[in-house]
Structure 1
Amino acid sequence: MRILPFLPLAMESNWANYKHLQTLSQMLLWTAVLALALVAGTHADLPKAVVKLEPPWIQVLKEDNVTLKCEGAHDLGNYSYSTQWFHNGSRISGQDQSSYRFKVTMNDSGEYQCQMDQTSLSGPVYLGVTSDWLLLQTSQLVFQEGETFTLKCHSWKSQALNKITFFQNGNPMRFSNNNSWLISKANHTHSGDYYCKAFLGKNLHTSKSVTLTVRANPIDDEEAAKTEAENTITYSLLKHPEAVDEDTEPDYQNHL
């Protein structure tokens, strides 16, 4: 019975320990939250990486060679930072260089992003891969008034083309043996559907149509954001190339 006077003391001691541990846990929790906030803030302050295509075409033919380049802020100097590459949100294993060159297959269509040690994740750049004899290539789908851009009539495996004709809205606009068409100081009249025709050997081929838009200069940030969003839109010809007509191209499947 003499033990009874010590029970309150033991209970008070346990309660004091509990309160001490509770306070310590709260301090550790707030410290962790603060650390995460600092890390997030630091990451947000990093310059955003940029993916560039070389050559700059957003549409390519199967077996073309493509180079993707990850660029950061100009003040990064010449130091070679480790780079992470992503295809449709999944990391590309074995690729840690800022320049990534490969021969494309049909499975390579999709969005590409990159991130360097000293940058945040880049925005997505879409690359469309199709299988055909002829392809009209462009660097983007939406342009601003006053911009200069190039259209290219590209053949599978870069075979020689002859008697190349560029069409806009079904009308022949340019005829030459040069497979590129430079459009300077674009305006609203340059909006429309474009395709090209050319002879590959003795056979005449026609590319699929690509819709281009030339917009008035944006008057505010919201309009600029809308234009940027439109540049990311891809057309069905990029994601779902139609089968080649076997009656008119009997040897195509054998070549591919």
Structure 2
Amino acid sequence: MSIFLAIVFLSLSVGKSGGAIKPVVTFTPNWGNIIYYDNVTLTCDVPSTVPEEPRAYHWYKDRRPIHGVQQRLHIIKSSVVEDSGDYQCQTIGGDISDPVFLNVTETHVILQRPPSAIYEGDPLTLRCHHVRDFNAVNTKFYKDDQEIKSSESDSTFHIPNIAMSQSGLYKCTKKIQRIDRSKVQEHSDVSFISVKEKKLPVKLEVIAAAVIGSLVVIVISAVLIWKCKKRKCFSHPELHQATSTTEITNKPPENNTDPDPQDVCYTYLDISHLPKGNRIKHEDLTVTYATVKNTNI
């Protein structure tokens, strides 16, 4: 009964807790790399199945506390290179998020990509971004040094369902118009896009059901084995005595031609009901052989 209660308690606790849920840091706009003077908003998302209660937040950069920020949003205005780093957030009494890297560079053109991992089947948007307060035209995208798109006004390249075969080295170029109105071709840094294989997520409820099912099978098997052993114990005592029967015959056999016939007195030992594994010591049994003289000749 105690084992059954333990199983019930385990199922209830797993169903309620659902495992530890970490908050997640997201960027708006959703780019992991920006140019200096760009603005970006960091959000601490806390997945929950209940209505959100008032929370206090802690923010960290490179594992050091960011003082004075206790809100769900952390806004960076007119970013500088020193804003680059790993960002994490945490609610009071909760888990800390995984680090998400923000890269701020001093350059004129960059190829922007989402900060999260890219899996096959996901949509992917790349952006050829240039420094603020400059005009730019003639955007081109390249994969493994092969041009894949060219546009005078569109600065994005979109793949609706990316495949693993589309992994490779990506970059972009733009013509930047300087203050003196001259235009210069600017190249972004090369970015390696790695498309990972998508694996079906295993829900915690499925794992819990499998564990509970295994425990139930083990308990039922243990109970059946125990009952089986108990039944054998009652039907076959440890020291089971062998039964013996003695039969004496003194009637001469028919058509007996033996001048001195003899009948044999024998003892029959019935050991068919002894439990397996119980041995009978030879000194516990005495076998007697006897002969009887038949006088009725």
TM range (shorter): 0.5 to 0.7
Number of residue pairs aligned between Structure 1 and Structure 2: 179
Structure 2 residue runs of 5 or longer lacking an equivalent are 1-17, 178-182, 203-297
In 2, Cα distance between equivalents of 1:96 and 1:58: 23
Query: What is the RMSD of the two structures over their aligned residues, measured on CA atoms?
Result: 2.2
Aligned residue type for 1:120: D
Q: Which residue of 2 aligns with 1:51?
A: 25
Residue aligning to 1:94: 68
- Structure 1 residues not aligned, in runs of 5+: 1-43, 222-256
The answer to whether the Cα contact below 8 Å between 2:138 and 2:175 also exists between their aligned partners in 1 is yes
Equivalent positions of 1:112-151 (< 5 A) are 112-117=87-92, 119-140=94-115, 142-151=117-126
Q: What's 2:194 paired with?
A: 213
For 2:169, the equivalent position in structure 1 comes to: 193
- Call closer, same or farther: CA 1:82–1:220 in 2, change over 3 Å: closer
Higher CA-based Rg = 2
Pick from 66, 73, 76 the counterpart of residue 47 of structure 2.
Answer: 73
Amino acid at match of 2:187: T
Asked if the contact 1:88/1:110 (under 8 Å) is kept, the reply is: yes
Distance 2:201 2:50 in 1: 31
Q: Give the match for residue 211 of structure 2.
A: none
Deviates more, 1:81-90 or 1:113-122: 113-122
Structure holding more helix per residue: 1
Q: Which has the higher contact order (CA 8 A, sep 6+)?
A: 1
TM-score computed with the length of structure 2 as normaliser? 0.56
Partners of 1:95 and 1:183 lie apart in 2 by 37
Query: Cα offset for 1:72?
Result: 1.0
Q: Which of residues 148, 152, 160 in structure 2 aligns to 1:173?
A: 148
Name the CA shift for 1:66/1:151 in 2 (closer, same or farther; >3 Å): same
- Contact preservation (8 Å) 2:101, 2:115: no
Please give the alpha-carbon distance, in whole angstroms, between the structure 1 residues aligned to 2:36 and 2:114. 17
Q: Normalised by the size of structure 1, how large is the TM-score?
A: 0.65
